[in-house]
Amino acid sequence: EAQVTQNPRYLITVTGKKLTVTCSQNMNHEYMSWYRQDPGLGLRQIYYSMNVEVTDKGDVPEGYKVSRKEKRNFPLILESPSPNQTSLYFCASTPTSSGTLNGYTFGSGTRLTVV
Amino acid sequence: GDSVTQMEGPVTLSEEAFLTINCTYTATGYPSLFWYVQYPGEGLQLLLKATKADDKGSNKGFEATYRKETTSFHLEKGSVQVSDSAVYFCALPSNCSGDKLTFGTGTRLAVRP
């Protein structure tokens, strides 16, 4: 089944403790992206990657890192999480140059709470 | 820059009522337009799309028409069901960044039996 898989689904952590949210897709998509969803703000893009070893900042990149060493994986790293990063996170993918025509495939989301 | 404006929610309807969720956009040119749906506890799923002006996207009884004159892409359904309860997002590609999608703030729909 074609899908984007995120882990974990739920995570509660403490301020300053490094964490990684994994994202993997099995569709051979070039483009991958991370969004965060907050009430009243919709989805905002954190980082995106147009292919292996190519990443770039989205609208709200502060406090996050990403890497794209393999085509299928696009982990989101919070080096020192803070409470304002409590949010619902989504990974998404699409074939390059197709997102504007066909949209994205989304993962099921990771609900992160930083206390 | 490109942007999407959706009507504020929540929208509460009785089963079999008519649904309209408004979406207007600001964009350069005539991009594709999308509606996504997020059911409780799940990720976003593509509901329908329209790739050019005057196109009508449809799926699962939902429809939306791409109207360039009014820069709108309103979502409609003639008879909603309890199972349609979800959050609906309007989206369009950003002309600033390749495959980036810009989303509206989402509209929560609650359908009562």
User: pLDDT tens digit string along B91-100?
Assistant: 988 766 567 7
What integer pLDDT is reported at residue A40 of this predicted model? Answer: 84
Residue whose C-alpha is closest to residue A6's, from A27, A34, A28, A42: A34
Residue of A nearest to B31 (CA): A100
pLDDT bin (cut points 50, 70, 90) of residue A102 is: confident
Q: B16 pLDDT exceeds 80?
A: yes
How confident is the model at residue A99, as a pLDDT? Answer: 59
**pLDDT (average), residues A9-19:** 96
Residue to mutate among A31, A38, A48, A104, with most B CBs inside 10 A, is A104
A43–B89: do the CB atoms touch at under 8 Å? yes
Nearest by CB to residue B98, choosing from A50, A103, A108, is A50
Residue A98, chain B, CB below 8 Å: the answer is yes
At residue B101, the pLDDT reads 85
Q: Given an 8 Å threshold on Cβ–Cβ distance, is A40 in contact with B105?
A: yes
Q: Which two tokens stand for residue A60?
A: 């709200």
* CB contact B83 to A (< 8 Å): no
How would residue B36 be classed by pLDDT, with cut points 50, 70 and 90?
Answer: very high
**Is residue B76's pLDDT more than 80?**
yes
CA distance B3 to B49: 17
Rounded to 10 degrees, what is the CA torsion of B58, B63, B64, B65? Answer: 80
Q: Are A107 and A5 in contact (CB under 8 A)?
A: yes
Which of residues 35 through 94 in chain A touch B, CB cutoff 8 A? 35, 40-43, 45, 48, 50, 56, 58, 90, 92, 94
Distance in Å, alpha carbon of B42 to nearest chain A alpha carbon: 5
Report percent pLDDT > 90 for chain A: 82
| Phi, psi at A38, each rounded to 5° | -130, 145
| Per-residue pLDDT tens digits for A55-75 | 999 999 999 999 999 999 999
Q: Is the alpha carbon torsion for A30, A109, A112, B9 positive or negative?
A: positive
Is the pLDDT at A97 greater than 70? The verdict is no
Query: Comparing C-alpha atoms, which of B36, B107, B95 is closest to residue A102?
Result: B36
Supply φ then ψ for residue A21, to 5 degrees: -105, 125
pLDDT of residue B29: 78
CA nearest to B47 within chain A: A103
Pick from A74, A61, A66, A78: which is nearest to A113 by CA?
Answer: A78
Q: State the pLDDT confidence band at A79, using cuts at 50, 70 and 90.
A: very high
Q: Is the pLDDT of residue B46 over 80?
A: yes
| Smallest Cα distance from A50 to chain B, Å | 8
Is there a contact between B42 and A50 if contact means CB atoms under 8 Å apart? no
pLDDT of A35 over the 80 cut: yes
**Residue-averaged pLDDT of chain B:** 91
